[in-house]
């Protein structure tokens, strides 16, 4: 007989604090306090269930960006339960490979990873490929490294990959590149001397270091860390954020950028002090909590309009009073005409997304909704906060936020199963704050739609294409 939801809650969540899991099915999302519908969340998305002491139909969870929302409890995957067959998200995450929230030597981590793969329920072909890929990354690479006696070749990887069914490979490819890449990252640092190259030999990853994968899934831009000395604490940790593929990284939420700006580098002042009273910081602050995802973009655009007459004329911006009134009266995902839409009539006719919508759907400015205005404002942020020559460039403030605190490590896996491209065609590369400082590709990106928002707009950093 199947257990009731309340019994299942007591078994998997009650008294266990925060429990990391994933969405098993698509679900509506709800405001954590009022429980009104605010959007949707897709299956496979990692969430952390927060124990409230008893079963409720709308479970309180924390997202990776730190936001707390509610989701349909029955749509959350129970810890340890087999994932939905159509989703492989999180399959090869560090936690799934037996790695806990503690410091490891390279040898300790290697033993756990290889043993977990060997004892898993994956097919022999997948086990072979994952093991070979691990040793290809962590194994022998010249005189400096001798952790593994056998040299795994590219042909070894290709042979193992060919043994995996094409449909299975296509289903697992992203998870291997994205999730298993986080597992491989610390070993690539050492094997390829990535930090030596990125810092011009100022930072070397020694064999005696300790490596660590955080258990929490909401650490800002932190997928794993390296302690150069075994005795180092969190203040001395080198933080790394994994990036999969050759393109740009995931969107970084304004809250996380502000958090990093407020985190002092060792022996230095907080970077945020440099940005006090700047439009860049005001934009980020308006987009961050406690402002709502619907009202934040309007306040952020209003901040860059102040003192910029040319920009006001360009968009027929209705002014400070109208923007602040919007922040007080707008309701998320309200599909009815905005009560003060007349104030935004000229803006609606100027804004390309809104003017195009009015032409196609034969709507007029009085029928514009709060979400329509929100999306048009996000487009302005995307277009006007884009690169060193833009009115409010975000590349410098982003570079200052991650400087000496976060290093991006990129991993690209070829279609043949062999890491390729990036630095010296190794499949790996390190990106530093300086790489973003003069990039024209550090810009706002939104996954929201013209009439519906899914979450906060954020910065998507990418290195300028050469």
Nearest to 450, CA basis, from 387, 396, 367, 369 = 369
The secondary structure of 146-157, three-state, reads: CCCCCCCCHHHH
Name which residue leads in pLDDT, 218 or 61. 61
Q: What one-character-per-residue DSSP string does 249-287 give?
A: -PPBPHHHHHHHHHSPPTTS--GGGGGTT-HHHHHHHHH
148-173 pLDDT, tens digit per residue, is: 445 788 999 999 999 999 999 999 99
List the domain boundaries for the chain: 5-75, 94-244
CATH number (2.30.30, 2.60.220, 1.10.3470, 3.10.450) of 5-75 reads 2.30.30
- In this structure, the dihedral spanned by the alpha carbons of residues 292, 18, 105 and 138, taken in order and rounded to 10 degrees, is -60
- Across the chain, what does the average pLDDT equal? 87
Give the pLDDT of residue 440: 83
Residue 200 CA: distances (Å) to CA of 109, 157, 241, 243, 288: 28, 31, 20, 22, 36
**453, 450, 409, 413: which is closest to 430 by C-alpha?**
409
Contact 275, 262 (CB under 8 A): no
Identify the helix (H) or strand (E) that includes residue 20.
strand 18-22
Residue with structure tokens 């007989």? 1
By the 8 A CB rule, do 20 and 95 touch?
yes
What average pLDDT does range 408-425 have in this prediction?
93
3-state secondary structure at position 310:
helix
Helix (H) or strand (E) holding 241: strand 238-244
pLDDT (0 to 100) of residue 202: 85
pLDDT of residue 54: 86
Instruction: Output 145 or 17, whichever has higher pLDDT.
Output: 17
Judge whether residue 186 has pLDDT over 80: yes
Q: Which of 101, 104, 77, 106 is nearest to 91 (CA)?
A: 77
Residue 367, CB-side half-sphere exposure with 13 Å CA sphere: 9
- pLDDT tens profile 366-405: 999 999 999 999 999 999 998 777 889 999 999 999 998 8
């Amino acid at each position: 007989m199947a257990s009731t939801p309340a019994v299942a809650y007591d078994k998997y969540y009650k008294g266990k604090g925060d429990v990391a899991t994933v969405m098993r099915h698509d679900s509506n999302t709800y405001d954590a306090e009022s429980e009104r519908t605010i959007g949707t969340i897709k299956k496979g998305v990692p969430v952390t269930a927060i124990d409230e002491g008893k079963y409720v139909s709308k479970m309180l969870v924390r997202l990776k960006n730190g936001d707390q929302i509610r989701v349909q409890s029955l749509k959350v995957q129970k810890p340890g339960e087999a994932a939905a067959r159509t989703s492989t998200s999180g399959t090869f995450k560090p936690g799934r490979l037996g790695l806990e929230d503690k410091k490891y030597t390279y040898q300790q981590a290697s033993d756990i990873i290889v043993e977990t793969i060997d004892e898993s329920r994956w097919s022999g072909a997948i086990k072979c490929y994952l093991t070979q890929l691990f040793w290809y990354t962590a194994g022998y690479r010249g005189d400096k490294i001798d952790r593994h006696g056998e040299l795994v070749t590219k042909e070894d990887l290709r042979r193992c990959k060919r043994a995996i069914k094409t449909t299975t490979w296509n289903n697992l490819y992203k998870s291997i590149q994205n999730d298993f890449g986080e597992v491989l990252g610390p070993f690539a640092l050492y094997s390829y001397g990535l930090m030596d190259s990125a810092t011009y030999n100022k930072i070397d990853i020694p064999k005696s270091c300790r490596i660590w994968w955080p258990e929490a899934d909401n650490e800002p831009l932190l997928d794993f860390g390296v302690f150069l000395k075994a005795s180092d604490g969190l203040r001395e940790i080198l933080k790394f954020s994994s990036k999969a593929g050759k393109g740009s990284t995931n969107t970084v939420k304004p809250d996380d950028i502000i958090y990093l700006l407020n985190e002092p580098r060792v022996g230095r002042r907080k970077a945020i002090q440099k940005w006090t009273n700047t439009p860049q910081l005001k934009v980020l602050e308006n987009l961050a909590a406690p402002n709502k995802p619907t009202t934040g973009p309007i306040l952020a655009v209003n901040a860059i309009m102040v003192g910029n007459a040319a920009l006001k004329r360009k968009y027929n911006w209705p002014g400070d009073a109208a923007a602040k009134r919007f922040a007080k009266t707008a309701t998320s995902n309200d599909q009815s005409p905005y009560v003060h839409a007349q104030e935004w009539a000229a803006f609606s006719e100027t804004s390309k997304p809104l003017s195009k919508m009015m032409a196609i759907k034969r709507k007029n400015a009085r029928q514009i909704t709060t979400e329509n205005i929100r999306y048009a404002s996000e487009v302005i942020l995307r277009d006007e906060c884009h690169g060193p020559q833009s009115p409010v460039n975000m590349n410098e403030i982003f570079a200052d936020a991650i400087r000496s605190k976060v290093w991006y490590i990129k991993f690209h896996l070829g279609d043949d199963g062999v890491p390729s491209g990036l630095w010296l065609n190794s499949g790996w590369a390190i990106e530093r704050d300086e790489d973003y400082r003069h990039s024209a590709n550090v810009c706002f990106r939104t996954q929201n739609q013209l009439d519906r928002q899914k979450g906060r707009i954020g910065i998507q950093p990418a290195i300028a294409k050469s």
